[in-house]
Structure 1
Amino acid sequence: MSEPVSAMAGAFHDGIVRVEDAGLHGMITLRGDLSSAKVKKAVKAAVGADVPGQRMIASAGEKSVAWMSPDELLLLVPYSEVGDILSGLEAALAGEHFLAVNVSDARAIFALRGGQVRDVLAKLAPVDMARDAFKPGDFRRTRLAQIAGAFWMPDNETIMIVCFRSVAEYAFNLLKTAALSGGEVGYHDA
C-alpha cells in the first residue's frame, strides 16, 4: 500500500507572503438537515465545535467545521482520524437522512502567512477582504481566478485555502504569482 502524500508534496514560495502546501488534512463532507438536533449533536461529538452559522467556521483544537451551504458542512480533522470520525457520524446519525463522505484525498489545502495575506487573496477572489468585512471565523466558498475554492482566516495573518486536488498545481501557481515581491497592493495593510 502506498503512503498518502499531499497534493503539492510540501511545496512553498516566499514572496510578500509565504504560500505553502499545508500537508495532509482529513476532510469530511456532511450533508443533511443542519437544524436537526441529531446532526448538531453528531457534529459536536465529531469535532468538539457547534454547527457554525452561514459563511462561518468553528474550531476546537485541531478540528473545525465549516458552513458550505444550507445543507452541507465540511469537517476538517486530523488525517489519521477520518475513519473513526466517519464511523462515529454513521452511528450517531442512524435513521437520519444524511451523507458523510471522506473527501480528504480529493482536496488540497494551502496556507498563506504574512501581513499582506488580504492583498494576495483580494487579487484572486471576488470577496471584500477589508478587515471589517472579513474576519477570523468567517468562511467563504467562492472562485479563485478560474477555479472553485474556499477559504478562512484562523488569525489576521493566516489564510487557509481549500480547492480540488486536481487543480492544486494551478492554485499554487496562482497564489505564488499573486504573492510575488513587488506586487503589493497596499490597500489591506495595517
Structure 2
Amino acid sequence: MSESYPEPVSPLMGASSEGALTVREAGPTGMIALRGDLSDPAFTGPVAALAGCPLPTVWQARGGDGRTLLWMAPDELLLLLPYAEARQAAPRLQAELDGRAVHALVQDVSDMRVRLLLTGPQMREALARLTPVDMSPAMLAPGSLRRTRIAQTAAAIRVISEEEAEVLCFRSVADYAFRLLGGAARNAPDFGYF
C-alpha cells in the first residue's frame, strides 16, 4: 500500500513582482540537507550518485538535470531536486549511509525553505542594497553562493548567471524576504555599478 501525501502548498502561492527586475517564487522544491565528512568517499560517493554530479567546492554549486548540490558549510551540503522525489530519496540515502557505518545526517527539509528567483540586468545592484555580501562578479561569479542575510533574515544567495540569482530563506520569513526583494527590484538603480 503506497502512502499518499497532500499536494505541497507554496508559502507565497507563486507570487511574482515586476519592476526593473523580476522577483518570483520558484514553487515547491525538494531539498535534502546533508551533514557529514566531505572528505570521506563513503559519504561523498552515495551523495554524488544521488545528486548526479560531483560535489561542489567551497562556496560553489554544481548540478544539472533538475538537481543542484550546494556547498553550505565545511560539513554540510544542500541538494535541490524535484519535490516529489525528496520524501523517498532522503530515507533511502540515510539507510545506505547507515549500512556503510558512515556518521551522517540526511534530512528532507523541502517544506522548511523557499526559493526566490531574481532575474534582470541589475540583479547584483538590487541584492547589494540588502546584503553585506560583496556582489561584484569577481567575488560572486555564476555558480557561487554565500550564506548571509538579507536585511534582518538569514539567507543563502546563489548566482545562477549574470542576470539571475536565487535567494533561499526560511519559509517563515518568505513574505518578508519577497517584499524586501520586490522593493529593491522595483527601485533598482538605473546605473550599472557592477
Shorter-chain TM band: over 0.9
Structure 2: where are the runs of 5+ without partners? Answer: none
Residue 23 of structure 2 aligns with which residue? 19
Q: Does 2:58 align with 1:54?
A: yes
Residue 121 of structure 1 aligns with which residue? 127
Offset, 1:78: 0.6
Write the distance in 2 (CA, Å) between the matches of 1:184 and 1:74: 35
**Residue number among 13, 16, 20 corresponding to 1:9 in the alignment:** 13
Write the distance in 1 (CA, Å) between the matches of 2:53 and 2:152: 32
Offset, 1:91: 3.1
Offset, 1:88: 3.1
Residue 102 of structure 1 aligns with which residue? 108
Residue 193 of structure 2 aligns with which residue? 187
Count of paired positions: 188
- Taking only aligned residues, the RMSD between alpha carbons, in angstroms, comes to 1.4
**Residues 38, 92 of structure 1: 8 Å contact kept:** no
Offset, 1:185: 5.0
1:13-38 Cα distance to aligned partner (Å, 9 max, x none): 01110000110100011101111101
Structure 1: where are the runs of 5+ without partners? Answer: none
Offset, 1:182: 5.9
Q: Does 2:137 align with 1:131?
A: yes
The residue type paired with residue 115 of structure 1 is: P
Q: Does 2:119 align with 1:83?
A: no
Residue 44 of structure 1 aligns with which residue? 48
- Evaluate the alpha carbon distance shift between residue 31 and residue 51 of structure 1 in structure 2; reply closer, same or farther with a 3 A threshold: same
**Residues 68, 141 of structure 1: 8 Å contact kept:** yes
**Residues 119, 184 of structure 1: 8 Å contact kept:** no
